[in-house]
Amino acid sequence: MWEGFDIATERKKYRLFPYSVLMTVYDKELPENLNESLESMLLQTYPPDELVLVCDGKLTCELNIIAKSFQSEFKDIIKIIRIDENVGVGRANNAGINACTCPIIVKMDSDDISLPSRCAKQLIMFSNHPELDIVGTFAEEFDSETGETVSIKKTPVSHEQILKYARRRNPFNRQTIAFKKSTAQRVGGYSDIRLCEDYEFIVRMLQDGAVGRNIPEPLVRYRISDNDFKKRGSWQQTKGFINVRRIIHKSGFSSLTDMVVPCIAQLGMFVLPSGVTKWVYKKILRK
């Protein structure tokens, strides 16, 4: 479908929806990462109608300089929402969803990089398939120090595959999703939980009848580091992982087996040394 993709030609063929980019940032983000992320969204082949940047708590001077610089250059597009205290990803995303004015919201992490055609391809998918509520893509994981590609994180493509996969794991790469604002608001937006909030949000939309699809192409590059592997195996991450699967099971979406199997796997990540976890992740889970 995307071979020989040309946005000028595609825009003549399709009526593309206007869209908002939603990004949240907090004070631990590296300024250079935020700069790259914002640039990658504002230089899309099909540019956003607006970009809503939610500052989750007070930012560092360097991050504020970058945010204000982009707002000055793209004053008709960028809207900055400031929250005085750090409230977490879920509540920050909800503030952003409410501030977005377009029917389609494209999510973006403040340390990732979108390929130039990402948004065009997702908006064309919405145009071709008006029944869709959520569109994601594959993602390219790369080493934050060397820039070397580590793996391609693939996700189920069809809605039927997504529903089955979602019983145990998030069927979308959170860095890649685009969704209808009306669908997100209908389910009440994100929950006020601190970890795995994106997975729980997706499941509630699917339970409400949302239709999803993934584009089988890596259109977002996201950073991973040795520290990420340590965090994935931390007790805090493990507790959050188990808690969300318990919530999803109690909602009736997944079976007891669907809850227990991934929780056992996560507990294994917790007890294994981070070096072993890294090897398993790269050689088995992402193979």
Give yes or no for residue 19 having a pLDDT over 80: yes
Q: What is the DSSP letter of 16?
A: P
Give yes or no for residue 224 having a pLDDT over 80: yes
Are residues 249 and 212 part of one domain?
no
Residue 219 included in any domain: yes
**Beta bridge partner(s), residue 142:** 149, 223
Q: Which residue among 187, 204, 224 closes a domain?
A: 224
pTM of the model: 0.88
Give yes or no for residue 229 having a pLDDT over 60: no
Are residues 148 and 64 part of one domain?
yes
| Residue appearing with tokens 């959170």 | 174
Give yes or no for residue 283 having a pLDDT over 60: no
Residue 1 included in any domain: no
Are residues 102 and 61 part of one domain?
yes
CA angle 165–166–167, rounded 5-degree value: 90
pLDDT tens-place string over residues 85-136 = 999 999 999 999 999 999 999 999 999 999 999 999 999 999 999 999 999 9
The proportion of the chain whose per-residue pLDDT surpasses 70, expressed as a percent, equals: 85
- Is 150:282 a contact under the CB 8 Å cutoff? yes
Give yes or no for residue 285 having a pLDDT over 60: no
Q: What is the mean pLDDT of residues 7-24?
A: 80
- Is 20:51 a contact under the CB 8 Å cutoff? yes
Average pLDDT, the chain: 88
Total of domains in the chain: 2
Are residues 213 and 243 part of one domain?
no
Residue 264 pLDDT level (bands cut at 50, 70, 90):
confident
Q: Which domain holds residue 256?
A: 231-285
Quick one: 52 exposed, middle or buried, by C-beta within 10 A (0-12, 13-18, 19+)? buried
Give yes or no for residue 258 having a pLDDT over 80: yes
HSE value, Cβ hemisphere, 13 Å, CA-based, for 218: 14
Q: What is the DSSP letter of 120?
A: H
Are residues 213 and 236 part of one domain?
no
Residue 2 included in any domain: no
Are residues 182 and 279 part of one domain?
no
DSSP-assigned states of every residue in 183-218? HHHHTTSS-S-SSSHHHHHHHHHHHTT--EEEEEEE
Give the span between the Cα atoms of 258 and 279, in whole angstroms.
25
Give yes or no for residue 284 having a pLDDT over 90: no
Residue 214: count other Cβ atoms within 10 Å of its Cβ.
Answer: 25
Beta-strand pair 178-180/134-143: antiparallel
Give the span between the Cα atoms of 143 and 266, in whole angstroms.
23
Work out whether the CA dihedral 148, 150, 156, 162 comes out positive or negative: negative
Are residues 240 and 269 part of one domain?
yes
* Token pair of 1 as six digits: 């479908």
Alpha helices by DSSP H, the chain? 7-13, 31-42, 61-73, 89-99, 118-128, 159-165, 181-186, 197-207, 226-232, 235-250, 256-271, 274-280
Residue 145 pLDDT level (bands cut at 50, 70, 90):
confident
Are residues 197 and 134 part of one domain?
yes
Give yes or no for residue 287 having a pLDDT over 50: no
Are residues 207 and 257 part of one domain?
no
Residue 73 included in any domain: yes
The proportion of the chain whose per-residue pLDDT surpasses 90, expressed as a percent, equals: 70
Residue 237 pLDDT level (bands cut at 50, 70, 90):
confident
Task: Tell me the backbone φ, ψ of residue 8, rounded to 5 degrees.
Answer: -60, -45
pLDDT tens-place string over residues 146-197 = 888 888 999 999 999 999 999 999 999 999 999 999 999 999 999 988 788 9
Q: Which residue among 224, 250, 274 closes a domain?
A: 224
Q: How confident is the model at residue 265, as a pLDDT?
A: 78
Q: How confident is the model at residue 12, as a pLDDT?
A: 60
Quick one: 4 exposed, middle or buried, by C-beta within 10 A (0-12, 13-18, 19+)? exposed
Give yes or no for residue 3 having a pLDDT over 60: no
